[in-house]
Amino acid sequence: MPEGSYGRKDSEDGPLVVVPPIESLWYKMYVSNFYLMESDKMQEKFRARFRIPYDNFRELVHWVTIDPLFDRWCGKKRNNKRSSPVELLVLGSLRYLGRGWTFDDIEEATAISKEVHRVFFHTFIRYGSTELYSKFVLTPISTADALTHMAEFSSAGLPGCVGSIDCTHIVTERCEYNLKNNHLGFKSSNTTRTYNLTCNHRRRILHSTGGGPGRWNDQTMVRLDKFISGIRGGMTFADNTFELDSIDPQSGEIVRTTFSGVYVICDNGYLDWSCTVPPYTMTSRREEIRWSNWVESMRKDVECTFGILKGRWRILKSGVRIWGVLKVDDVWLTCCALHNWLLDIDGFGGEWNDGVPVSDWSGALGALDYEGIPERIPNAIARLSRNLDPRNYDSSGMGRGNDVIHDDIVGNETVQLIVENAVSKMNLSEFRRKLVEHYEIQFNRNAQQ
């Protein structure tokens, strides 16, 4: 190849020049190409590639340009040098989160140095873990805030339940050496960070703890969870009331008792607190087995949320490759914020009145009977549709049988009793028995109709 002038290489087709960002493939396809705004096919491809719709990407770019954190990329430089297009930097951050690319991969697509992308990404996750998280992850602090999250659980026979909780582990590939021993958990041979997450039945994240070492389990993380600690201590939602049915042992009539506070459902890895209610693991009573299977079915909300997060933001599944455990926390909180934002975008963030909101994938679910609901609709969603009674569902697989307690008195008149019991002051075994009895009465009442 003949030499041209200094700093330039010539070829048979002419001089070779460095491609600027505005001539890159991504800039031509996603920034300067307005065809995206008119083509449904391209809109679908854009969302699959960058996880958010194109219009919302433009909205995110606007938020970035007006935030002082990004002044170095959006303001004027002293040497009048042109900054890299912020649209490409945001696209690079979304691709890094969504598909687990490396910064070198993104440099190939944007013609922007991988070091620029790396520095921008660190700023982006700091912005996502603070501004975006506070904007979209709205932890309820009052009863009025919590009522909308309790609606589906109340319809499903779990009045007073505000959400489901569990812990998950995120692989941290570049953990500091002095922290490595504590971050080697029992479930993985890799160093991980542990997060305790609370979500409602709509898979909306209500709260997430900061990260803890992978060696910490559910019992340790829940002690550090400010949201659960507030519920347990009676500092939050103490004025919320809900009613549970029970059988008066003397009159044999159904009485309704008022309780104050809230609780969450969980697995059996948590501490025996009355506000963290797990299913039974060892029981031979039919009503407890049926209730436990039902709780397990409802508790899968949080497991599904983990699956959605790790499927949509592949960095959470493949492992975070940036240095420092605190940066992993920023990545996790950013992904939680974007997850809730997408729920709002898709119309699943609000309360499900008369079943699931109509969307592209659910159809007119609220007007369907159970037999008419497509198989691709999850059972947990299907049983909340309008023509279903959510408590008339035998998840135990045992059938109703003749030995179910209180079958002969389910039809008796209900007596209203005003008796308040604070959930936070009860023990778990006592409160769980009351939940089982309430569910059994509701189940038998529906079975006789």
Nearest CA to 398 out of 284, 254, 277, 313 is that of 284
AA identity, residue 29? M
Nearest CA to 52 out of 87, 90, 94, 88 is that of 94
pLDDT along the chain (449 residues), means of 10: 46 65 85 73 87 92 92 72 86 92 90 92 95 93 89 88 92 82 76 92 92 89 92 88 85 84 92 92 88 90 91 90 90 95 84 54 33 40 39 39 35 47 88 90 69
Tell me the C-alpha distance between 239 and 259, whole Å.
Answer: 10
Per-residue model confidence (pLDDT) at position 443: 82
Measured in whole angstroms, how far is the alpha carbon of residue 384 from the centre of its chain? Answer: 19
Let me know: does 406 contact 285? Beta carbons within 8 Å.
Answer: no
Per-residue model confidence (pLDDT) at position 84: 83
**Alpha helices by DSSP H, 164-285:** 218-223, 226-232
3-class SS of residue 414: strand
Per-residue model confidence (pLDDT) at position 16: 60
Per-residue model confidence (pLDDT) at position 118: 94
Task: Write the pLDDT tens digit of every residue in 359-399.
Answer: 443 333 333 333 333 433 444 444 443 333 333 334 334 44
Tell me the C-alpha distance between 206 and 149, whole Å.
Answer: 9
Per-residue model confidence (pLDDT) at position 72: 86
Query: The tokens 């030995």 sit on which residue?
Result: 403
Per-residue model confidence (pLDDT) at position 10: 54
Tell me the C-alpha distance between 352 and 148, whole Å.
Answer: 9
Per-residue model confidence (pLDDT) at position 331: 94
Nearest CA to 346 out of 207, 204, 197 is that of 204
**DSSP, residue by residue, 27-53:** IIIIIS-GGGGT-HHHHHHHHHHHSS-
Tell me the C-alpha distance between 225 and 221, whole Å.
Answer: 6
Per-residue model confidence (pLDDT) at position 62: 94
Let me know: does 390 contact 384? Beta carbons within 8 Å.
Answer: yes
Burial 416-430 (b: 16+ CB within 10 A, else e): eeeeebebbebebee
AA identity, residue 358? V
Question: Count of CB atoms within 10 A of residue 403's CB?
Answer: 9
**Who contacts 314 (Cβ-Cβ below 8 Å, separation ≥6)?**
97, 98, 99, 100
- How buried is 304 (Cβ within 10 angstroms: 0-12 exposed, 13-18 middle, 19+ buried)? middle
Q: What angle do CA 111, 113, 81 make, to 5 degrees?
A: 85
- How buried is 15 (Cβ within 10 angstroms: 0-12 exposed, 13-18 middle, 19+ buried)? exposed
Query: The tokens 């190939």 sit on which residue?
Result: 108
Per-residue model confidence (pLDDT) at position 262: 93
Per-residue model confidence (pLDDT) at position 86: 92
Per-residue model confidence (pLDDT) at position 14: 58
48: tokens are 């699959």
Query: The tokens 């309008």 sit on which residue?
Result: 386
